[in-house]
Amino acid sequence: MTDTITVVDNRTGREYTLPIVDGTIRASDLAQIRAEGDDHGLMAYDPAYLNTASCRSTITFIDGDKGILRYRGYPIEQVAETASFLETAYLLLEGELPTATQLAAWEDDVKYHTYVHTNITKFLSGFRYDAHPMGMLLGAVGALSTFYPDAKDIHDPHSRYVQRVRLMAKVPTIAAFLFRHSRGLPYVFPRNDLGYIGNFVNMTFEIGGKHEPNPVLQRALEILLILHADHEQNCSTSAVRSVGSSQVDPFSAVSAGIAALYGPLHGGANEAVLRMLDEIGDVANVPAFIESVKAGKGRLMGFGHRVYKSYDPRAKLIKRVADDVFEQTGLNPKLKIAVELERIALEDEYFVSRRLYPNVDFYSGLIYQAMGYPTDYFTVLFALGRLPGWIAQWEEMLRDKEQKIARPRQIYVGAAERPFVPLAERG
Ligand code: CMC
């Protein structure tokens, strides 16, 4: 058996043998297949990249049929059970688990970059009181590039490390400021005596210089961030890679990722789930809601996934986190509606035949709400979690000799050449 594929172009009768490497053929190998000498050659047409590998990656492995997710080879269940978020970030960014010394140095570097330039607080205060925090976040993170012009030195490994530390350290501070902004509360500045999660929670919830930390809720938040830390070539990561491929600075590239995450089909789904549960209102209304989804009137938010065609392993872990959190906070009343939605959907032919299962966003919003975060803030928390993944994927893209500026092709289906009609002659 040779690792090649032979195709016959029935337009010309010519035969081509193309190499198969890692279960793929190179789309550019198709270009040699021409019907006429001057055509551009055969292209692969794949809207939404349903079956196209855009890169080689060593970061995250997913088997969507078996419900497997691994970071750098380590099963997500084991990482979430044992690691801290910064340890997970180190793993994703550096490729290996840190030693105790390496972890301490990494934690220190991040800790001492948590402050942001005070001008950032000035422009944040220019946002309307009801501005969506994701809109503010993508603007503020993009603006960081103007504070750190050295971030343009993307080919310098030291500069890349500094920007990585700045992103990991300052995005939680900005995220916490947005939370305070929406409430008209004064900003709480970072505290270096607290850990990464403890500091973030303190910056969001401290009132009058006081906040009583709840270790169970803090660990739950940490696990949620770990579960969101990377998910290979999803929409926002592809956005970071694609924008980063123009060789723009990492703050601008990550801000593109935040924009992509904002959408309701991606990270915005956790917010959409809560709005959906509010709309359903009562367990008694669940069957009617399911029928309306089946009739094409909207989607069951938090269900379905491009890659997972079985139970999302993150959703399984999140259900366990939910138990811990609700034990502390009391049951979120909307949980009953969510559980009933899941029960019916998992038995219903419509969802079963399409292999639609709860995804990471189905239960996470209920937990964030129980922790005291408002609905429009959920996707910001997702962004905090996904940050190391975006940076790791950006770095991998930059170091990949095969990558160039991302620039897909198209099939032009518009008008053929026609003479321009002056304004006065247009009917
Ligand atoms: N509710 C009802 N029907 C659905 C849903 C859903 N949530 N998801 C997919 N379908 C149906 C869809 O209508 C289609 O049916 P048909 O074959 O009859 O036309 C079939 O399932 C396949 O759907 P698709 O749109 O081709 O699937 P996709 O891979 O393009 O979309 C998805 C994946 C996640 C965008 C989609 O499942 C969806 O919109 N889910 C709801 C939003 C959501 O929860 N997003 C979070 C995704 S996970 C975390 C993240 O990425 O942030």
pLDDT per position as a tens digit, 298-319: 999 999 999 999 889 999 999 8
85-94 vs 196-205: helix crossing angle, rounded to 10: 120
pLDDT per position as a tens digit, 286-295: 999 999 999 9
**C-alpha to C-alpha distance for 76 and 315, rounded to whole angstroms:** 11
Tokens of 315: 């959703």
pLDDT at position 374:
95
pLDDT per position as a tens digit, 55-70: 999 999 999 999 999 9
**C-alpha to C-alpha distance for 13 and 259, rounded to whole angstroms:** 47
User: Ligand 1 — pocket residues by CB below 6 A?
Assistant: 234, 265-267, 269, 293, 299-306, 354, 356, 359-361
**CA-268 nearest atom, ligand 1:** 52
- Catalytic machinery residues: 266, 305, 361
**C-alpha to C-alpha distance for 235 and 217, rounded to whole angstroms:** 29
| CA triple 240-384-69, angle to 5 deg | 75
Helix residue ranges per DSSP H, 112-265: 118-124, 133-147, 157-183, 196-205, 215-227, 235-244, 250-262
Kind and range of the H or E run holding 7: strand 4-9
pLDDT at position 403:
97
pLDDT at position 2:
85
Q: Atom 22, ligand 1: which residue's CA is nearest?
A: 354
pLDDT at position 107:
98
How far away, in angstroms, is 223 Cα from ligand 1 center? 25
Please identify every stretch of the chain with a pLDDT value under 70, giving residue numbers as ranges.
Answer: none
Paired with 70 in beta bridges are 61, 75
Q: Which of 362, 364, 114, 386 is nearest to 221 (CA)?
A: 364
pLDDT at position 332:
86
**CA-350 nearest atom, ligand 1:** 3
**C-alpha to C-alpha distance for 48 and 62, rounded to whole angstroms:** 18
**C-alpha to C-alpha distance for 12 and 31, rounded to whole angstroms:** 15
CB 199 within 8 A of CB 181: no
- Of 51, 359, 364, the residue with max ligand 1 atoms within 8 A of its CB, to mutate for a pocket test, comes to 359
pLDDT at position 341:
96
pLDDT at position 9:
97
Q: Atom 45, ligand 1: which residue's CA is nearest?
A: 265
pLDDT at position 333:
85
**C-alpha to C-alpha distance for 161 and 165, rounded to whole angstroms:** 6
- Of 49, 238, 299, 307, the residue with max ligand 1 atoms within 8 A of its CB, to mutate for a pocket test, comes to 299
pTM of the model: 0.95
- Of 354, 364, 378, the residue with max ligand 1 atoms within 8 A of its CB, to mutate for a pocket test, comes to 354
